[in-house]
């Protein structure tokens, strides 16, 4: 059980990191469009 919990936690962390990176990319795109 402990091992599965740790795996789930690391998967969740990587998913959150990916979402965070996507948000940064989207934010950068909006900045780019607004500057035009």
Round to whole Å and give the CA distance between 35 and 33.
5
Expressed in angstroms, the distance from the first to the final Cα of the chain is 53
pLDDT score for 16: 96
Domain count, the chain: 1
Residue 16, both tokens = 């959150």
Give me the chain's average pLDDT, please: 88
Query: CA-to-CA distance for 31 and 7, rounded, in angstroms?
Result: 36
Mean per-residue pLDDT, 27-36: 79
Instruction: Summarize pLDDT for 13-26 with one digit per residue, the tens.
Output: 999 999 999 998 88
pTM over 0.75: no
pLDDT at 36 (0 to 100)? 66
Q: For residue 34, is pLDDT > 90? A: no
How many angstroms separate the CA atoms of 27 and 13, rounded? 21
Q: What is the pLDDT of residue 20?
A: 94
Tell me the residue range of the domain where 18 lies. Answer: 1-36
């Amino acid at each position: 059980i402990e091992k599965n919990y740790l795996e789930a936690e690391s998967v969740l962390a990587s998913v959150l990191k990916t979402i965070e990176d996507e948000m940064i990319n989207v934010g950068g795109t909006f900045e780019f469009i607004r500057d035009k």
